[in-house]
Amino acid sequence: MPSPLDGDAAEVGEYAAESGAAPAIPADATPMMAQYLEIKHAYPDALLFYRMGDFYEMFFDDAVKAAEALDIALTRRGKHLGEDIRMCGVPVHSHESYLERLIRAGFKVAVCEQTEDPAEAKKRGSKSVVRREVVRLVTPGTLTEDTLLDARAHNYLAALARTGADQGFGLAWADVSTGEFEVTNVSEATLGAELARLDPGELLVADSFFRDEMLSGLIAQHVGSVTALPGARFDSGAGERRLKSRLGVGALDGFGSFTRPEIAAMGALLDYVELTQVGRMPALQTPRRVATGSAMAIDAATRANLELMKTLKGETRGSLFSTIDRTVTGAGARELGARLAAPLTDPHAINERLDAVECFGEARDLRGRLRAELRAAPDMARALTRLSLGRGGPRDLAAIRDGLGAAHELARLIDQAPPSLMPLPREITDTADALRSVAAALRDRLAAMLAQDLPLIARDGGFIAAGASAPLDELRMLRDESRRLIAGLQSKYADETGVSVLKVRHNNVLGYYIEVGPKHAERMMAAPLSQNYIHRQTLANAVRFTTGELADLASRIAEAAGRVLEIELGLFDELVAATLEKADVISRAASALGALDATVALAELAVERRYARPRVDDSLAFRIRGGRHPVVEAALERETSAAPFVPNDCDLTGEGEEAHRLWLLTGPNMAGKSTFLRQNALIAILAQMGSFVPAEDAHIGTVDRLFSRVGAADDLARGRSTFMVEMVETAAILNQAGPRALVILDEIGRGTATFDGLSIAWAAVEHLHEVNRSRALFATHYHELTALAEKLPHLANATMKVKEWEGDVVFLHEVGPGAADRSYGIQVAKLAGLPAAVIHRAREVLTALEKDGSSDRAHVLIDDLPLFSAVARSAPPAPQKSAVEEALNGVSPDELTPREALDLLYRLKALMPSAGV
């Protein structure tokens, strides 16, 4: 492995990384180490991948951090301030796997490449160092390689800016890998929900944000990687200039009415992308302004509780997304995830999506053909980005070729839709228009130029198809068929000279030459042959000649290999340039492919899972008939021995004097309260994202904000107990929910003393009813709350139905009107496997509590009940056998005759209770 310390010096100067200070490089440092220190000084906060031959090397503290994170060997060589220089390296050919691990560990990596041919460096002197430059700064929000990205999820880079206290925040985000670029205005109250929706890989903020503890805490709560930049990079004036330059316009009015914070956020984002890509910009789309309130606001706690994109364990499997995902492309999965993360609030836009889903649901054959064609469609958006950044290869061009071909075919299939579907919904026709506008000439050119089997990188060559370039074909023939060409010339020369033993040979001194014996040499040196055959060398047993034709062929053969790659790279650059000229069209087609896949997938889901089309309007309705939990239902169907899911109705309609917009739900644990709460929230989300829903029928007035507090845990990192977390989440709901909100609350007040918890729950129910006036489901074990139905006109009691049988409880998982009279906690504890002595003791204590009416119940238990230790030592009373069990005792079924068996049945029937058995 080469060493940066090769040279006479044994030490190098101290590495300085202070901003604005020149690096301290001693005079006796080797040229290579001096170069390294100078480059590293410009990137003090990143690990420097310093290219040396076939390795990326790291030194000093970079090496220590990387070796620990990657679990690779840390070596030492040379001296630095009297100590060994620590170093480690990773192979260039497999660096992406190491890069992925470093990025996931929270590092940024500056990739420093050799930008000069070593031969050119030698011309400057024997000790000259090959020129190196950082070609890219890799950060969590700027990844573009497929190996570093999840093909089925967006990776957003976001920027947050504030230009004045009264203007709110500008929040801009872009997926650098696909070109998506959007911006919106948010308040401090809605900032958390927006960050939770985007889940950005990296967030850019001004360094001044960290002086605001509340704001910095909110950001840290929702974003894993935060990059602080100087406040000057968030200047709105500079941002406006960057945007105008990027869009090539003199004014931004034609693209939207952007606020100053929004412009500042977009400008900072563009500036950072240009910085990390070292001057090259990806093919970002025109920025789109997202109107405030256009999507259902769902805070981070609610997203986690409902397990929309991931389960509480952080896994995709078992989430709502994994349950409904039927997409066949990465772009389609990303679009589906975006729709799920941001359900719409405009009934018109929602119903346009539902029209398209219904149309494809009815057209089974068309749906099947579209899905088959979509499966062959590559990820054009990410391929286009890599090409625009100079990181693309022949396979990315092939992705553009195949994607444009798929777009053309999909548009043709839609145009040939059955007459029964006409007229097609607008959502479908708009998609077809985008697909139909593909760059046909570019598609045909790429198809004609690219070979079938393509290398990963262009420098490997062999990606231009035979027949696409006559000069290239000729050079390839020279390179690959030189022996055949030389043999052809030898035959030709033998015929011309009449010397049958003439040979064309090669050596490193003369190159290619003609060789004959001495007896034939005189004829070739005489006219007329001497005019074409030029004497080169005379040996004892042979004479050598050449011709202009042979010399030219030899020269072309020698240059062919290098020229082949040179021509191919030139053609590659031409194809990339032609592709980037059509970047807008390609981006539009790529977005249309994703939207089509997501819509067709939702239609496939609706047919497969028997989902119904919801009615969505701007009323305050919330009426679900036969609703089901999509995830639980799918899980039960995978279990062959499990009972089918029990559907339930829910009516929280908030309009009318008799409307019961607030349900108080009681019933035992394990009876299905949490499932019922969650399923109604998920049905609302599915409906407003434009999907059919798991129900027989659904009528939903659009929900502008969704709150769910189901379950809680300690937040030890922030010093919060379970009860504190519960109260913080409840406070957010009671302070923010309005009449259009949907609120799901489960077991408020359970984390403190009984009367404290009951009082808090009581007050929360009243506040929801009188102040928030939201559509809400409130599950509780405090049966005292059911009395509020007499006081609050829009509150209704509902309960989970159960049946008891010989001391055990059977959960029916059905929701019905009324209130539960018991919590059945002891029965549930018995099902959980608590010791029989504990269950027996619990029944005694419960009986005493229910009989006693005094306030000092604990002393009553101590005085009137035996000690726990005595109970633990005594076994519970054995259950008495019934008359039927006594009659069956000692009966041997195998020894009964048919007549005796019939007589036994009559006797048993007589012993059975008269309750209809």
- What tens digit of pLDDT does each residue of 716-726 get? 445 566 778 78
Q: Look up residue 572 and give its amino acid.
A: F
Secondary structure of residue 628 in the 3-state scheme: coil
What is the model's pLDDT at position 849? 66
Q: Are residues 361 and 494 in the same domain?
A: no
- What tens digit of pLDDT does each residue of 6-31 get? 333 222 222 233 344 455 565 556 78
Secondary structure of residue 462 in the 3-state scheme: coil
Beta bridge partners of residue 450, listed in sequence order: 464
* 622-627: strand order across its sheet: 615-617, 697-701, 622-627, 648-651
Q: Look up residue 407 and give its amino acid.
A: A
Whose tokens are 């100053």? That residue is 260
Determine which helix (DSSP H) or strand (DSSP E) holds 635, and give its type and residue range: helix 630-638
Among 577, 609, 641, the domain-final residue is 609
**Is there a domain that residue 447 lies in?**
no
What is the 3-state secondary structure of 386-442? HHHCCCCCHHHHHHHHHHHHHHHHHHHHHHCCCHHHCCCCHHHHHHHHHHHCCCHHH
Query: Which of 406-415, 560-569, 813-822 has maximum average pLDDT?
Result: 406-415
**Is there a domain that residue 576 lies in?**
no
Q: Are residues 196 and 278 in the same domain?
A: yes
Mean pLDDT of the chain, nearest integer: 86
Determine which helix (DSSP H) or strand (DSSP E) holds 777, and give its type and residue range: strand 775-779
Assign residue 256 a region (left: φ > 0; alpha: ψ between -120 and 50; beta: otherwise): left
User: Could you list the residue range(s) of the whole structural domain that residue 220 is in?
Assistant: 151-292
Q: Are residues 688 and 781 in the same domain?
A: yes
Of the chain, the percentage scoring pLDDT greater than 70 comes to 89
Q: Are residues 92 and 55 in the same domain?
A: yes
- What tens digit of pLDDT does each residue of 323-338 get? 999 999 999 999 999 9
Task: Inform me whether the pLDDT recorded for 145 exceeds 60.
Answer: yes
**Can you give the CATH number for the domain in which 126 is found?**
3.40.1170.10
Q: Are residues 133 and 181 in the same domain?
A: no
**Is there a domain that residue 465 lies in?**
no
Q: Are residues 807 and 687 in the same domain?
A: yes
According to the annotation, is 670 in a ligand binding site? yes
Q: Are residues 382 and 499 in the same domain?
A: no
Secondary structure of residue 827 in the 3-state scheme: helix
According to the annotation, is 291 in a ligand binding site? no
What is the model's pLDDT at position 200? 94
| Integer Rg of the chain from CA | 38
Task: Inform me whether the pLDDT recorded for 869 exceeds 50.
Answer: no
Who wins on pLDDT, 8 or 553?
Answer: 553
- What tens digit of pLDDT does each residue of 604-651 get? 999 999 999 999 999 999 999 999 999 999 999 988 777 889 999 999
What is the model's pLDDT at position 542? 92
> Using CA atoms, how far apart are residues 357 and 870, in angstroms rounded to an integer?
67
Token pair belonging to 869: 């230790």
Q: What angle do CA 183, 188, 193 make, to 5 degrees?
A: 65
H helix runs in 656-777, sequence order = 673-689, 722-736, 754-767
Task: Inform me whether the pLDDT recorded for 915 exceeds 50.
Answer: no
Who wins on pLDDT, 869 or 490?
Answer: 490
What is the model's pLDDT at position 29? 66
Exposure string of 676-697, with b = 16+ CB inside 10 Å and e = fewer, is: bbbbbbbbbbbbbbbbbbbbee
| Contact partners, residue 71, CB within 8 Å, separation at least 6 | none
**Can you give the CATH number for the domain in which 513 is found?**
1.10.1420.10
Token pair belonging to 558: 């020698």
**Is there a domain that residue 575 lies in?**
no
**Can you give the CATH number for the domain in which 163 is found?**
3.30.420.110
**Is there a domain that residue 161 lies in?**
yes
Question: Is 17:44 a contact under the CB 8 Å cutoff?
Answer: yes
Cα 2 to its chain centre, rounded Å, is 39
According to the annotation, is 672 in a ligand binding site? yes
According to the annotation, is 174 in a ligand binding site? no
Instruction: Kindly write down the DSSP assignment for every residue of 268-283, as one continuous string.
Output: HHHHHHHHHTTT----
Query: Into how many domains does the chain fold?
Result: 7
Q: Are residues 721 and 632 in the same domain?
A: yes
Pairing of strands 297-298, 202-206: unpaired
According to the annotation, is 669 in a ligand binding site? yes
